[in-house]
Structure 1
Amino acid sequence: MQGDKLVIGDEHRWAAGELVPMVLQALTYKGAPLVVTVAGESGAGKSEVAFELARRLEAQGFRTIVIQQDDYFFYPPLTNARLRRVSLDHVGVSEVNLEALDATVREIRGGSPRVVKPLVIYEEDRITQEELDAAGVQVVIVEGTYTTLLPSAGLRILLERPYHELQLARRQRGREAQDEHLEAVLAIEHRIIAGHRERADVAVDLSSRSVERLCSFRAKLPPGLEAGEPARG
């Protein structure tokens, strides 16, 4: 999303450092790019952790691309916010075109060197398109609230933080008015995300700096991939 403001702090760098070995473990198979999802509530630090993780993987020689769920809402951000104020029934997974997001990821995994995807221009409240250079990509990081639901995900990461820290992070970001309506929206989001925890492979608490391995890290592989060391670009 054009206009997104990232504030990468020590906690995001710590989380990315913890996640790099897990991504490398999942990359012990050669073949299609590994899809890593970074999910969590608003203010959890998804974008910051995703881009810091990508930076570290690139530094180790792994071609990495980040895709943001924010580009796949059916409506641009300010319009979507107005619709939420009309009815809270608008809030939830149905706001996001997850099918289109997964299609973009599958296109990259299928080997397309260039992929056209939506791009939100936040300040102009509009959705346009951009072309991504996906040639040689080995890791696709998809960050966003509901990305744990993506069928193509190989490693699902869930970020967790105490409520007061989520509030502080949202205030620092300054996207929405901090009022009762926003609290109602976030309460709905919280209930939805709580139900996604059982789908995650790894839960990362940025406050206590703890990592919980919820199940196997090994990527869910398509048939025919060969075991081996991660291939560097």
Structure 2
Amino acid sequence: MIGDKLAYHSGFKQTNNKIIDTLRSQLLSGQRICIAIGGESGSGKTSLAYALLLDIENSLGLKGYLFHGDDYFFLPPKDNHNQRLKDIANVGSSEVDLKLLDKHLSSFLSNKGHINKPLVHYENNSIGCETIDSSRFDFCIVEGTYTMLLKNTTYKVFIENSFIDTKSNRVKRARDIMNDFNEKVLEIEHNIINEQSKYANMLVKNEVFK
């Protein structure tokens, strides 16, 4: 995912310690695991996932890879937005190639070597490709709006903050246009995504951006 700036937020440390304590034995046993981070737009999925990856690496001496759900949209960002403008009913998990993402997670967990995955470039409104070598990593984290629906994950963490809670963070992020249409999209996503929290192993509240 080109165009998203990642920064470590120490405010996730307490949450990350709980996750690490829960999964420590699996991580240190040599078993390859995949942790899913899900939630609504602006809830801090990417920030939590990145902080968790670094905390696991630093505390356990392992190497992790971060999958971004946004890379698996069928259409690049602007084209996907235009499809929503044509028909807002297009909003939902069908916009994302979850089958391909699950396939790549399965390959990663099975350590099948090279994985050719999509890579979104926001500014260019394009979807390219990158190759990763799964043998270079010990675990992976996948973050995205619909990751609770994935089958090939070991542990699922859901951020409970709603699109109303995250409004100030979305304004600061300035990645999406703030207008009535996009707020309606977020409301639709909320009704879909909120139901997915039942698949999570852990529910958390993001206090970092308050």
TM-score of the superposition, structure 2-length normalised?
0.91
Q: Which residue of 2 aligns with 1:44?
A: 43
Separation in 2, partners of 1:9, 1:27:
22
Separation in 2, partners of 1:28, 1:7:
26
Q: Which residue of 2 aligns with 1:112?
A: 112
Deviations 1:53-76 (A, max 9, x none): 111111121221110000000000
Q: Which residue of 1 aligns with 2:82?
A: 82
Displacement after TM superposition at 1:39 (Å) = 0.2
Q: Which residue of 2 aligns with 1:70?
A: 70
Q: Which residue of 2 aligns with 1:145?
A: 145
Separation in 1, partners of 2:68, 2:91:
18
Please say which of residues 73-82 and 156-165 is displaced more in the overlay: 156-165
Q: Which residue of 1 aligns with 2:56?
A: 57
Give the secondary structure class of the aligned counterpart of 1:123: coil
Displacement after TM superposition at 1:191 (Å) = 0.7
User: What amino acid does structure 2 have at the position aligned with 1:38?
Assistant: I
Give the secondary structure class of the aligned counterpart of 1:55: helix
Displacement after TM superposition at 1:19 (Å) = 2.3
Displacement after TM superposition at 1:27 (Å) = 3.2
Displacement after TM superposition at 1:114 (Å) = 2.1
Deviations 1:141-173 (A, max 9, x none): 010010011111110110122544311111111
Displacement after TM superposition at 1:109 (Å) = 1.2
Give the secondary structure class of the aligned counterpart of 1:27: helix
Native 8 Å contact 1:12 1:45 kept in 2? no
CA distance 1:104–1:142, shift in 2 (3 Å)? same
Q: Which residue of 2 aligns with 1:135?
A: 135
Separation in 2, partners of 1:99, 1:126:
20
Give the secondary structure class of the aligned counterpart of 2:166: helix
Deviations 1:7-42 (A, max 9, x none): 5444334433332222324436543x1111000000
Displacement after TM superposition at 1:133 (Å) = 2.7
Separation in 1, partners of 2:200, 2:95:
21
Aligned residues: 207
Separation in 2, partners of 1:94, 1:51:
26
Separation in 1, partners of 2:162, 2:192:
16
Deviations 1:83-117 (A, max 9, x none): 11111111000000000001111111121232110
Separation in 1, partners of 2:44, 2:29:
29
In structure 1, list runs of 5 or more residues that go unmatched: 209-233
Q: Which residue of 1 aligns with 2:206?
A: 206
C-alpha RMSD over aligned residues? 1.8
Q: Which protein is richer in helix relative to its size?
A: 2
